[in-house]
Chains A and B, each alone.
Chain A
Amino acid sequence: MLAMSHAGYVAAGWGISLTALAAYAIRTVRRGRALARQVPPEDRQWT
């Protein structure tokens, strides 16, 4: 990776993408947990 040409661009592209995906995934799961506490179990058919 260190000997790679355009390493900064490659790192920025992958870094931003993976960070965005991880941040969105964490936010979605956390929101799901918070909402699930407000809904009776019978309305959560997937559990």
Chain B
Amino acid sequence: MTAPYAAGSTSSGTTRILGWLSLAGLALLLAYALVWSPADRAQRDAVRLMYVHVPSAIVAFTACAITTLAAAMWLRRRSEGWWVLGGASAEVGLLFTAMTLLTGSIWGRPTWGTYWDWDPRITSTSLLFVMLVGYLALRRIDNETGDAAQRGSRGAIVGLLLFPNVVVVHYSVDWWRSLHQTATITRLDPTIEGTMLFTLVLGIAVFGLVFAWLLVHRFRVGWLEERIDHSGLDEALVERRAEAGVGAAVGDGGTV
């Protein structure tokens, strides 16, 4: 369907400000992460990967929390906004979860001597990745009856399980023996300080801005997709009614 409406986009004043702030923040973060922050005594320059790995993980976990909230609200209210938000947040979260796994794997090679290990945190994060893929897939798979509510409910149930898994990811280093270190910045006496701590916090803030920008745009894309789906459905209904009307008229004509 291609209607000749005026050109538009998913941008607004707010997203433009967010976008420019994100770009400026990314430039500053790159300068701190790659140039201005010192190398670590143990990890040496591989620590610079932490300034992309940790923020990616925190953003991915935030996205999962939003998806779980959206799934719960959709099950309760069945409103379109929560449905679209759940899908948008899960898709952006999937990107950041993939980045977390990739950067962690690349960091693991020079520091642990291996790209991959079935460590509790890596395993639970991989499970999170699979769950996000499953959630997005369930939202798309049509059932036999084409019942959107049933399809949505199945997806939402997986969505509800995302945040509990984030809790498992977070505490996995405390609950099981792990190659990962325990909490670094969430404790009251952070184990890093100075420029390294600042760079890490800056990374979290900048990735937060990037996430917000992506989420708003992806939400609007989802909203537009819903509008187009509904208009297609409305057109099909009008056509069906027109056909039925013609059929009835022909039928009436036949009885005269």
Contact = CB atoms under 8 A, between A and B. Distances in A.
- By DSSP majority rule, is chain B's interface helix, strand, loop, or mixed? helix
B254 to A, nearest CB: 41
A7 B45 contact: yes
Contact of B7 (A7, A10, A24, A36): A36
A10 B3 contact: no
Nearest to A43: B227
A16 B228 CA distance: 34
B221 interface: yes
Interface residues of A, number: 33
Interface in A7-38: 7, 9-10, 12-14, 16-18, 20-21, 24-25, 28-29, 31-33, 35-38
Contacts of B214: 21, 24-25, 28
Interface residues of B, number: 48
- By DSSP majority rule, is chain A's interface helix, strand, loop, or mixed? helix
Nearest to B15: A46
B102 A13 contact: yes
A6 B44 contact: yes
Interface of A: 1, 4-7, 9-10, 12-14, 16-18, 20-21, 24-25, 28-29, 31-33, 35-41, 43-44, 46-47
